Amino acid sequence: MTVSVQPHPREQDPFFQAVIRPIIDRRMELGLTQVDLDNLVGYADGLTAKYEVVNRRPSGFHLWCICEALHMTIQLVPEA
């Protein structure tokens, strides 16, 4: 019997791939938990988790705050 593992639907979400995945990777690279990031940014506990599972999408301001806390930049590029 062969079991096929289906990717989580969020993995197919372009927003997740372009925005959330790099944030998760950077948070983990810095050794921070979701709660650590909540505290750095000043969020209520659990908001980072909601963003990371795509239950909620961060506003532009929240995205800016997350990137500042993770020492990342936001770059807007015109579509080709």
pTM of the full structure: 0.82
Task: Please report whether residue 1 resides in a domain.
Answer: no
Q: Is residue 9 part of a domain?
A: no
DSSP symbols for 1-66 = ---PPPPPGGGG-HHIIIIIHHHHHHHHHTT--HHHHHHHHTPPTTHHHHHHTTSS---HHHHHHH
Any domain includes 80: no
Note whether residue 48 is domain-resident.
yes
> How many domains does the chain contain in total?
1
pLDDT, position 16: 86
Look over the chain and give the mean of its residue pLDDT values, rounded to a whole number.
89
Query: Is 43 domain-assigned?
Result: yes
Rounded CA gap, 33 and 39, in Å? 10
Q: Which domain holds residue 34?
A: 20-69
Does the residue 49 lie in any domain?
A: yes
| 42 in a structural domain | yes
Asked if residue 31 is part of any domain, the answer here is yes
